[in-house]
């Protein structure tokens, strides 16, 4: 695929994901938008594009590198949610990004075997859900007011951030490139707009939904890692995308069942 067309496709995916997550938030609330943004809405199609131009072994290596950075991404989400309860959006963003890049650099430099990297990635959504702020009966649930001008600004900022990340990934060192490619673009843009307008509780709800969506994100890359050596690339990708969408739904139903049982016991 020509580089210009590939870049346009990546930027279109970023813009489309931000629009879709924002519209879902407007209709169903911050948590629902966060779940959608946390899924491999961008990474999944980009992986499909990589499969067109690269051999399966090379794509598998990309999947492993992404999983290696997953605990740092989860730390970013948790730290961002806690800082949002007391700091302005720009301070939350810089503090959480420092945690992400610092943690990601340590993880990439740590000589762990493949199974350990995959294992850490798989448990990270569970740890993230446990470590999120406890807000009790948060009033940030329900539909969200979202003017059209704000939606346009979200898309514009997301495209600029994505373009900068992609430029850095092509021109900087391999380690920095890996971290940049793992950077949570929607996890940067959406909280930065949510916090000033809707407050810290809403931002934590959004990021909590993002953590739930990350269970699907991790599932996608784990399935790709396991399936690529065994199956044709298109079939492996299709199975991974279906699994990525199914797991957050199952997680949500399990949580709802547990809450109902707890309420009934009380």
**What is the per-residue pLDDT across 92-146, written as a single tens digit (0 to 9) for each?**
999 999 999 899 888 888 888 989 999 999 999 999 999 999 876 555 567 788 8
Average pLDDT over residues 242-255: 78
Biggest CA–CA distance in the chain, Å, is 61
The reply to whether 195 falls in a domain is yes
Q: How confident is the model at residue 75 (pLDDT cuts 50, 70, 90)?
A: very high
Residue 2: HSE in the Cβ half-sphere, 13 Å Cα cutoff:
3
Tokens of 233: 């690339």
Q: Tell me what pLDDT residue 52 has.
A: 83
Q: Tell me what pLDDT residue 258 has.
A: 66
The reply to whether 266 falls in a domain is no
Average pLDDT over residues 231-260: 81
- Contact in structure between 241 and 223 (CB atoms under 8 Å): no
Domain tally, the chain: 1
Q: Tell me what pLDDT residue 169 has.
A: 60
Q: Tell me what pLDDT residue 54 has.
A: 80
pLDDT tens per residue, range 211-224: 999 999 999 999 99
The reply to whether 52 falls in a domain is yes
**pTM score:** 0.87
The reply to whether 264 falls in a domain is no
Q: Tell me what pLDDT residue 255 has.
A: 65
Question: What percent of the chain clears pLDDT 70, i.e. is strictly above it?
Answer: 86
The reply to whether 10 falls in a domain is yes
Neighbours of 66 (CB within 10 A): 23
The reply to whether 200 falls in a domain is yes
Range of the domain at 128: 3-256
Computed over every residue of the chain, the mean pLDDT equals 85
The reply to whether 165 falls in a domain is yes
Q: Tell me what pLDDT residue 85 has.
A: 93
Tokens of 67: 């999983």
User: At residue 183, does pLDDT exceed 70?
Assistant: yes
The reply to whether 53 falls in a domain is yes
């Amino acid at each position: 695929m020509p580089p210009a067309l590939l870049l346009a496709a990546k930027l279109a995916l970023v813009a489309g994901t931000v629009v879709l997550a924002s519209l879902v938030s407007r209709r169903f609330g911050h948590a629902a938008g966060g779940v959608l943004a946390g899924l491999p809405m961008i990474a999944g199609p980009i992986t499909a594009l990589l499969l067109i131009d690269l051999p399966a072994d090379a794509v598998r290596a990309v999947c492993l590198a992404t999983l290696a950075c997953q605990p740092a991404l989860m730390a970013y989400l948790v730290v961002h949610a806690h800082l949002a309860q007391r700091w302005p959006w720009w301070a939350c963003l810089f503090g959480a990004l420092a945690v992400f890049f610092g943690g990601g650099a340590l993880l990439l430099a740590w000589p762990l075997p493949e199974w350990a990297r995959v294992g850490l990635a798989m448990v990270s959504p569970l740890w993230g859900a446990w470590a999120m702020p406890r807000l009790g009966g948060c009033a940030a649930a329900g539909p969200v007011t979202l003017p059209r001008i704000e939606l346009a600004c979200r898309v514009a900022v997301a495209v600029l951030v994505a373009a900068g990340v992609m430029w850095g990934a092509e021109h900087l060192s391999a380690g920095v490139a890996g971290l940049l490619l793992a950077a949570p673009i929607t996890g940067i843009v959406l909280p930065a707009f949510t916090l000033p307008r809707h407050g810290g509780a809403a931002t934590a709800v959004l990021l909590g939904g993002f953590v739930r969506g990350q269970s699907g994100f991790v599932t996608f890359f784990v399935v790709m890692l396991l399936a690529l050596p065994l199956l044709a690339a298109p079939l492996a990708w299709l199975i991974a995308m279906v699994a990525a969408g199914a797991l957050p739904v199952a997680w949500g139903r399990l949580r709802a069942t547990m809450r109902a049982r707890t309420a009934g016991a009380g």
